[in-house]
Amino acid sequence: MTMVRTLRLPNVVVAVCRPLLAGRMLATVVMLLAAGSVVAQQPKMHYRHSSNLPPGAIGRAQLQRGGPLHGYFQPVEIVGPKGAKLALTKGGGFEPLQQTPRRAGLLIGQVYRFRVTNIPDQPGVEVFPTIEIIDRIYPPAGREAEFPIPIHVTAGDLFLAARG
């Protein structure tokens, strides 16, 4: 019967190699932790749609892609805070003020300005926010007006807009 002997390193080799191996393992762990924090520090952004783009740029890019977007009026419903009045643009001016919610059909790729007055807790203040429609939804044929895109303009939004 043959006996297989396991390879044993002399105690001197083990004593020298163990600290080196521990040092390499520690260095590897430190490098992995450092690499993870570097990746975590990258800013979150959408590379195609930067916040520095002018109004209307994203909608125009959508139109260049093609598809059923040209000439489509997307129904929207603008909901403001209770008591606020809203006027949409018409012919270079504004329509008469009406209570919210307001419904309208807006072209994709265009930027629309509207006027908001009678803002709660801000008497006499008017703001003129804009809306850009960048895509459409696909409701059942003939029922487009039943499924508008809701646009909620909160009192906090209007307060920040009034402060500049």
User: Going residue by residue through the chain (164 aa), what tens digit of pLDDT does each one get?
Assistant: 567 666 666 665 556 666 777 778 888 887 777 766 555 566 666 666 677 778 888 878 777 777 777 888 899 999 999 999 999 998 889 999 999 899 999 998 889 999 999 988 888 899 999 998 888 889 999 998 999 999 999 999 899 888 87
CA distance 82 to 55: 28
Handedness of CA 21, 22, 26, 27 (dihedral sign): negative
Cα-to-chain-centroid distance, residue 3:
70
For CA atoms 143, 75, 149, 97, give the dihedral sign: negative
pTM for this prediction: 0.64
Q: Which domain holds residue 34?
A: 10-43
Q: Is the separation of the CB atoms in 149 and 101 below 8 Å?
A: no
Residues 70 and 34 in one domain: no
Q: Are 36 and 116 contained in the same domain?
A: no
Q: Are residues 69 and 29 in the same domain?
A: no
Contact yes or no for 84/119 (Cβ under 8 A): yes
75 and 147 belong to one structural domain: yes
Q: Which two tokens stand for residue 156?
A: 């906090």
Shared-domain flag, residues 71 and 113 = yes
Q: What is the CA radius of gyration of the chain?
A: 31
Assigned domain for 48 exists: no
151 near 104, Cβ under 8 Å? Answer: no
Domain count across the chain: 2
